[in-house]
Chain A
Amino acid sequence: MYNASDLKKNLRIKLDNEPYVITEFNFVKPGKGQALYRCKLKNMINGNQFERTFRSVDTFESADLQEKKMQYLYPEGGKYCFMDNVSYEQVFLTEEQIGDAKNFLIDNIEVSVLLFEDRPLGISLPNFVDLVVTEAEPWAKGDSVTGNTKPVTLQTGYRILVPTFIDQGEKIRVDTRTGEYLTRVKA
């Protein structure tokens, strides 16, 4: 349980049974008047943002989040399906919740799904994912200068810059935090 005086940026609170994160916070108080706690809140499920001013008598529950290891199964109607490998329970996340992670989602990959009372909020990927190059221009001899790169397309549709020696059908390792090429993975 939090009091209004505990509010601060990045704190996660529960309001009307929804999880919110405080994205902006300021304490204001007319000299003789009440203390007021102005917050900008972001709904962690749908991303909606709004401003709310709280008073010192207001109290809050914290929004407790859990992380669960789940396996990515398939996309369906703009949503992404994940399964808990222990309980076989399935959850769906929207494209917005998945964000840039969709560039690295391959079948059966294990990810951490962030949940609020069994409702999914987002996922975090392993730091490194191996992906197959599905389209690449052939390596022209004149391009062999060190540091030269070329764009290729990966199995997820993600376009990435790789060294010129990478060919179609090869597997590469990508850092999911930066979205950049790391190394070629030998089959």
Chain B
Amino acid sequence: MLRAFRQFFYERDYLEIETPVRIPAPAPEEHIEAPPSGDWYLQTSPELCMKRLVAAGYSRIFQISKCFREGERGDLHLPEFTLLEWYRQGADYRDLMTECEDLILHLTGVLEKNDTLLFRGRRISLKKPWPRISVEEAFSRHAACSLPEALEQDRFDEIMACEIEPRLGVDRPVFLFDYPVALGALARAKEGDAALAERFELYIGGLELANAFSELTDEAEQRRRFEKARQFRSASGRRDYPLPEGFLNALSSMPDAAGIALGVDRLAMLLTDAATIDAVVAFTPEML
């Protein structure tokens, strides 16, 4: 898998980069916990450092890195996992949908799986283009209540995880796009509709595989969103992180770009028809 990723990105003139795993200031997001490492933290994703490189002029970069999220352990979660993350200057989230299709088809081609996957007893056709449905549409199609009702009742995540996600991508991969702006803390607002964020997630076989944004490059707006998240974090008794000033300062010189993070372990689950994420790693935390 890793060799196929690299081949794909090298052919498209992406530069493979490395950024520090241990950082002083992770992005303050409401529901993502960075494990402390001394006075610093282990990264929950390489997003902030990679965007600084985009701001410094690296127009196409990718990285395969270990990421850490405290308290996340389940059939689809490991507290230490592998992310493939890439950024492309001048692109928006729609361009990355296409690139996602190409990447996964390249991978299945290398693995001689052609364009059909068998996962959890169902055939999934990978024929391009993959369906794209908005978050609002997904609620009206798969959930008992509408998107505005779910937000109003603070049940967005519950309905998404329990009712909608298991039904996404069961026959064909699905891009779920246009999230409420509050749910895309580092994403640019949609042109012509400030209530929505240019964010998508890729689902195949009910698995959430990748999350992408058209990147927010407005420093003042990003600062406001981080402060809001910090207030939420302190009000709910979560660890406070310092503001990532280096990242915020770099934003003003960041060109338009889109970025995406793909869960490598989950993609391996999909390709091997694994029941749980435990099956695709050599060691789970419980085995150490």
Interface residues of chain A, those whose CB is within 8 Å of chain B, are 5, 26-36, 38, 53, 56-57
Please state if B208 and A31 are interface contacts (CB–CB under 8 Å): yes
Closest-CB distance, A184 to chain B (whole angstroms)? 49
In the complex, whether B194 has a CB less than 8 A from a CB of chain A is no
Determine the residue in chain B with the shortest Cβ distance to A25: B74
Please state if B162 and A28 are interface contacts (CB–CB under 8 Å): yes
Closest-CB distance, A97 to chain B (whole angstroms)? 32
Give chain A residues whose Cβ lies under 8 Å from the Cβ of B77.
27, 29
**With the chains together, A26 CA to B75 CA distance in Å?**
7
Q: Quick one: which of B75, B161, B184, B211 contacts A36, CB cutoff 8 A?
A: B161
Q: Quick one: which of A27, A33, A57 contacts B73, CB cutoff 8 A?
A: A27
Q: Quick one: which of B29, B74, B208, B236 contacts A30, CB cutoff 8 A?
A: B208
- Chain A binding surface, main DSSP class: loop
Please state if B32 and A30 are interface contacts (CB–CB under 8 Å): no
Please state if A35 and B31 are interface contacts (CB–CB under 8 Å): yes
Determine the residue in chain A with the shortest Cβ distance to B263: A31
Give chain B residues whose Cβ lies under 8 Å from the Cβ of A38.
162
Give chain B residues whose Cβ lies under 8 Å from the Cβ of A32.
29, 31-32, 183-185, 211
Per-residue CB proximity of B4-42 to A under 8 Å, as 1/0?
000000000000000000000000011110000000000
Among A26, A32, A34, residue most surrounded by chain B Cβ atoms (within 10 Å): A32
Please state if B74 and A29 are interface contacts (CB–CB under 8 Å): yes
Give chain A residues whose Cβ lies under 8 Å from the Cβ of B31.
29, 32-35
In the complex, whether B160 has a CB less than 8 A from a CB of chain A is yes
The size of the chain B interface, using a CB distance under 8 A, is 25
Among A5, A30, A53, residue most surrounded by chain B Cβ atoms (within 10 Å): A30
Please state if A35 and B162 are interface contacts (CB–CB under 8 Å): no
Please state if B157 and A34 are interface contacts (CB–CB under 8 Å): yes
Please state if A5 and B162 are interface contacts (CB–CB under 8 Å): no
Determine the residue in chain A with the shortest Cβ distance to B75: A26
Interface residues of chain B, those whose CB is within 8 Å of chain A, are 29-32, 71-77, 156-158, 160-162, 165, 183-185, 201, 208, 211, 236
Please state if B72 and A53 are interface contacts (CB–CB under 8 Å): no
- Cross-chain pairs A/B with CB under 8 angstroms, 8 sampled: A5-B71, A29-B31, A29-B74, A31-B208, A32-B185, A33-B156, A33-B157, A53-B162
Determine the residue in chain A with the shortest Cβ distance to B29: A32
**With the chains together, A31 CA to B32 CA distance in Å?**
8
Q: Quick one: which of A5, A53, A56 contacts B158, CB cutoff 8 A?
A: A53
- On whether A31 and B211 interact (CB within 8 A), knowing A5-B71, A26-B74, the answer reads yes
**With the chains together, A30 CA to B32 CA distance in Å?**
11
Give chain B residues whose Cβ lies under 8 Å from the Cβ of A29.
31, 72, 74, 77, 157, 161
- On whether A33 and B201 interact (CB within 8 A), knowing A27-B74, A28-B76, the answer reads no
**With the chains together, A57 CA to B74 CA distance in Å?**
18
**With the chains together, A129 CA to B212 CA distance in Å?**
66
**With the chains together, A23 CA to B282 CA distance in Å?**
28
Q: Quick one: which of B74, B183, B184, B201 contacts A28, CB cutoff 8 A?
A: B74
**With the chains together, A116 CA to B246 CA distance in Å?**
57
Determine the residue in chain A with the shortest Cβ distance to B201: A31
Give chain B residues whose Cβ lies under 8 Å from the Cβ of A36.
157-158, 161-162
**With the chains together, A35 CA to B70 CA distance in Å?**
11
**With the chains together, A55 CA to B217 CA distance in Å?**
33
Please state if A30 and B165 are interface contacts (CB–CB under 8 Å): yes
Please state if A28 and B73 are interface contacts (CB–CB under 8 Å): no
